Chains A and B, each alone.
Chain A
Amino acid sequence: MEGYTASELMSIVAMQGFAGISLFSVLLLMALGLAIIFGQMGVINMAHGEFMTIGAYTTFLLSSMAGEFGLVDYYFPVAIIVSFLVAFGVGYLTEWALIRHLYARPLDTLLATWGLSLMLQQIFRTVFGAREVSPAMPGWLQGSWQPTDAIDIPINGLFVLGLTVLLTTAVLYYLYKSRSGVKMRATTQNRMMAGAVGINTKRVDRFTFALGCGIAGVAGAAFTTIASTGPTTGSLYIVDTFMVVVFGGAASLFGTIASAFAIAEAQSIMEFFMSGSMAKVLTLLFVVGVLMIRPEGLFSVKVRK
């Protein structure tokens, strides 16, 4: 690390650290949905990335419409909500048509949802074309914030971070404080018994799955502010997302947050000093090492079995 002065190094760490926080935000938004679907329900949803892409394309469509009416500065909050609703709706249909038949066969959900992911990718390609698209960015999301001369923090990154904090808090509140959160956790722990204490488990399952997909849709909307969207965008993130959920401990949302942070930060700070693939290899090695010592992930809920 010769050739950098101490203050330059500080700025590098600050800026790369913030780039890491942007990556953390997207990973966490993706992983939140998957933590509910995979961590809580045990469904291996390989199409989760495509639900994010659905959100991204929804945002793109809305931005094109907003462009025609000259509303580019205002459409984005609406786009987030619509992305959630569209992904929620598609998730709801998917649960009804596909997933509910497979709760007793967790490995089969892997194949079924992988097939679904291929179909969705082809649909995106047919409808939107293979070329990547970018929605028009509202003016207030462009530019950067400079706390000192050497540090440049992009506004869109700050916005995505804010959205992530908001959504994570909402999900945590919903799961741990609301009455339907209790029903959801009871159902995912023991479906038969939840039915036998009077919970309509089919309805809860459908809503849970759709909620996870809806959150992926929001991740997609946020994603459009930092990168462009193509038919296979979602599949690029699915492996990382599973890694975050498994590393954090499948049943623990706090673990998911910690693990998204650790992985994203390690990756982006190392990326500056070595090649991107080397950084990835080191991250993966570290994750594998930790999982060998703690197969249940970083955080796990300890109770009598």
Chain B
Amino acid sequence: MLQVSDLKVSYGQSEVIHGIALEVEMNETVAVMGRNGMGKTTLFKSLIGALSASAGDISLDGKSVTSMESYDRVKHGIAYVPQGRMIFPTLTVEENIRTGLSSTGKRNIPEDIFALFPVLWDMRKRKGGNLSGGQQQQLAIARALVTDPKVLLLDEPTEGIQPSIIKDIANVLNEIRKLREISIIVSEQVLSFTMAIADRIIVIEKGNFIREDRREEVDEAQISKYLSV
């Protein structure tokens, strides 16, 4: 589904991602774990096209999207839920979701979105900026889902969210996988969350992938060592 080869990303002269390779199968969920400053967000931004790659290739279904702009990548099936959620604060919840419709040409929000996130239906007339952190996270996921993605990128979805909601988000993500043909790449620091959703866990350190395990084979103590400060 998604192939990334030899991806390098730099801020000016300083290279932050040093030639990463990644392959994600259809319906697979991959977690990229690592401490702050190891390159998770940079990697995700370059996948969606908010940062351009200095070398390497990103392909979706065999078609290279490396030189495409963000909106074009969305049209080809990549969706992005950024760190910090970045919903549009002065747009209503409904308008926030509608922004995702522009790439599909659909007029109405599909009903299954509100079935997944009933709280958004209750809040649909409220301004996005007035929602709680957990509700904003659900809104950001809903906004990404209405673009009909093949690959969903989630950058630290549990950051700053209370534990009970983290469980809800894990359940929703598993629900989405059942309902749709979708691959998910998630970056995280919370191991219990990734253990609940991921098929594969990759550890990133200083811009390189240094370890990869299938969930069944994960040694939690080992991976925790890369996460604790």
Chain A residues packing against B (C-beta within 8 Å): 179, 182-183, 185-186, 189-190, 192-202, 251, 301, 303-305
- Which one, B96-104, B159-167, B186-194, B203-211, is touching chain A? B96-104
B98 pairs with A182, CB closer than 8 A = yes
Given A193-B82, A195-B50, A198-B147, the answer on whether A186 and B89 have CB atoms closer than 8 Å is no
A303 to B130 Cα, complex, angstroms: 5
- Which one, B22-30, B32-40, B67-75, B218-226, is touching chain A? B67-75
List the B side residues contacting A190 at CB < 8 Å: 86, 88
The prevalent SS among residues of A at the interface is: helix
B50 to A, closest residue via Cβ: A192
A179 to B143 Cα, complex, angstroms: 15
> Does chain A have a CB within 8 A of B49?
yes
Q: Min CB distance, B127 to chain A, in Å? A: 5
Tell me the B31-63 residues at the A interface (CB within 8 Å). 48-50
A198 to B147 Cα, complex, angstroms: 8
A301 to B104 Cα, complex, angstroms: 30
List the A side residues contacting B19 at CB < 8 Å: none
A197 pairs with B129, CB closer than 8 A = no
Q: Min CB distance, A141 to chain B, in Å? A: 40
B87 to A, closest residue via Cβ: A193
A303 pairs with B127, CB closer than 8 A = yes
> Does chain A have a CB within 8 A of B171?
no
Partner of A303, one of B48, B89, B101: B89
B88 pairs with A186, CB closer than 8 A = yes
Residue in A193, A195, A199, A303 whose Cβ sees the most chain B Cβ within 10 Å? A193
List the A side residues contacting B100 at CB < 8 Å: 197-198
Partner of B91, one of A189, A198, A200: A189
A301 pairs with B98, CB closer than 8 A = no
List the B side residues contacting A186 at CB < 8 Å: 88, 91, 95-96, 99
A201 pairs with B71, CB closer than 8 A = yes
B71 pairs with A193, CB closer than 8 A = no
A196 pairs with B50, CB closer than 8 A = yes
B86 pairs with A182, CB closer than 8 A = no
> Does chain A have a CB within 8 A of B144?
yes
A1 to B19 Cα, complex, angstroms: 81
List the B side residues contacting A192 at CB < 8 Å: 50, 70
> Does chain A have a CB within 8 A of B5?
no
Partner of A198, one of B71, B128, B129: B71
Given A192-B50, A195-B50, A304-B130, the answer on whether A200 and B71 have CB atoms closer than 8 Å is yes
List the A side residues contacting B130 at CB < 8 Å: 303-304
A198 to B102 Cα, complex, angstroms: 6
1/0 per residue, CB under 8 A from A, across B104-140: the answer is 1001000000000000000000011111000000000
List the B side residues contacting A179 at CB < 8 Å: 98, 101-102, 107
A303 to B132 Cα, complex, angstroms: 11
Q: Min CB distance, A166 to chain B, in Å? A: 25
A196 pairs with B74, CB closer than 8 A = yes
List the A side residues contacting B50 at CB < 8 Å: 192, 195-196
List the B side residues contacting A199 at CB < 8 Å: 71, 99, 102-103
B102 pairs with A183, CB closer than 8 A = yes
A196 pairs with B127, CB closer than 8 A = no
Q: Min CB distance, A41 to chain B, in Å? A: 14
List the A side residues contacting B144 at CB < 8 Å: 197
A193 to B48 Cα, complex, angstroms: 10
List the B side residues contacting A185 at CB < 8 Å: 88, 90-91, 95
Partner of B89, one of A189, A194, A195: A189
Given A182-B98, A182-B99, the answer on whether A301 and B90 have CB atoms closer than 8 Å is yes
Partner of A195, one of B49, B95, B104: B49
List the A side residues contacting B71 at CB < 8 Å: 195, 198-201
A201 to B79 Cα, complex, angstroms: 16
A182 to B75 Cα, complex, angstroms: 18
A304 pairs with B102, CB closer than 8 A = no
Q: Min CB distance, A162 to chain B, in Å? A: 30
B44 to A, closest residue via Cβ: A196
Given A183-B99, A303-B127, A304-B130, the answer on whether A189 and B90 have CB atoms closer than 8 Å is yes
A194 pairs with B99, CB closer than 8 A = yes
A195 to B75 Cα, complex, angstroms: 11
A197 to B149 Cα, complex, angstroms: 10
A196 pairs with B88, CB closer than 8 A = no
B86 to A, closest residue via Cβ: A193
